[in-house]
Amino acid sequence: MGAPDLQQLAAVAEAAADAARAEILPRFRRVAVETKGDGSPVTEADRAAERAIRAVLREATPDIGILGEEYGEEGAPEGRRWLVDPIDGTIAFSRGVPLFGTLLALIEEGEPVLGLIDLPALDERTVGFRGGGVRRNGEPIHASQRADLRGAIVSHGDPFCFDRFEERPAFERMAREIPMLRGYTDAFGHAQVVAGAVDVMVDLDLNPWDAAATQILVSEAGGRCITLDRRDAEHKLGLVFGSPPLVEELAGWLSRR
């Protein structure tokens, strides 16, 4: 699929993100929280946003399958499909913290070719696709190229995810040795890395819909993204992404690299 086609599909993804915003923002700080069977939180905003996203995608791209966090698989799993996380950072959303986002990615032959990270409460949207670079609110952005951890802002996902990934020693080393280690989690942290504001991030124990947009966006922004598999859980991923030299260094701190 060429860049002109992907540019058209990026417009579809933006329309879907607009529909999600219309469901999310009126419910922000005004919605009850439930607990799913796996122990993770969910709200009516998550469900309503995914329904809205699916409606836009079905109408515009009926030949492309959809896999979403709340409503599962729709359409044939082979070929192209959209991956949807209507609210990445539901814990933040449910507590009134504005650092949550919507994630959309298009997968082709098993690889992400288009990604979108929308931060509705901050009015920031990052979009990119293969061969087309990355833009935030229409302006080109680029990942960091910093090579020295001592001056870098390094972010990480929740520490319990390092435990699930059997990588607690790596987190403890990061806490000891990195001067500016910050917990900018979920879609917010990912967007800051894509834009170069955060130099590098380690985020573990992700679902495919948590990771796919970042995988293509970081690459198109001139950064590097290393993907790791969790040994004991099918489909769970870890990402080390951002400035290429820092990604290489931090990936070396993980036991499975």
Cα separation, 71 vs 125, in Å, equals 24
Token digits of residue 202: 């380690």
How far apart CA 236 and CA 38 sit, in angstroms, is 14
Residue 164 has a pLDDT of: 93
d(CA 10, CA 128): 8
Count of all residues that appear for the chain in the document = 257
Tokens of 136: 């935030």
Taking the model in full, what pTM does it have? Answer: 0.95
pLDDT at residue 36, as a whole number = 84
Query: Which pLDDT value is given to residue 231?
Result: 66
Domains and CATH numbers, the chain: 3-137 (3.30.540.10), 149-251 (3.40.190.80)
**Among candidate residues 188, 215, 53, 212, the one with its CA nearest the CA of residue 125:** 188
Instruction: Give the pLDDT of residue 4.
Output: 62
Per residue of the chain (257 residues), what is the pLDDT tens digit? Answer: 666 699 999 999 999 999 999 999 999 999 989 888 887 888 999 999 999 999 999 999 999 999 999 999 998 767 899 999 999 999 999 999 999 999 999 999 999 999 999 999 999 999 999 999 999 999 999 999 999 999 999 999 999 999 999 999 999 999 999 999 999 999 999 999 999 999 999 999 999 999 999 999 999 999 999 999 876 666 899 999 999 999 999 999 998 65
Give me the numbers of helices (H) and strands (E) for the chain, helices first please: 8, 15
Other Cβ atoms closer than 10 A to 187: 24
